[in-house]
Amino acid sequence: MPSTGPWCRSAPGARRGPAEVPELLAEALGEVSGRLFDAAGRRIASLLDDRVVALTLDEFRALPHVIGSFALGWPMRASA
């Protein structure tokens, strides 16, 4: 079950991520299992991709059904 929500400095990748984190914070609306996306749902490529062990956004889109944890922490996750 993928987790979905806004991407912020408290995210694990941001805490220990590359120097590009400030730029990613400005661009990323959210993340699905560590995969960053913008307001249009497009993937945001970053060095963090090499550190994520999860399906890509395209692989998630190809699945017929996905159950995610959208409702957990709802106010924080609403924008994503």
Does 12 score more than 70 pLDDT? Answer: no
Query: How does strand 35-37 pair with strand 30-32?
Result: antiparallel
pLDDT digits 0-9 by tens, 16-31: 556 677 777 778 888 8
Write out the residue range of the structural domain in which residue 29 sits: 4-77
Q: Is 53 left (phi over 0), alpha (psi -120 to 50) or beta?
A: beta
pLDDT band, residue 80 (cuts 50/70/90): low
Residue 42 confidence (pLDDT) = 92
Q: Count of domains in the chain?
A: 1
> What is the rounded average pLDDT of the residues 38-55?
86
Does 53 score more than 60 pLDDT? Answer: yes
pLDDT band, residue 61 (cuts 50/70/90): confident
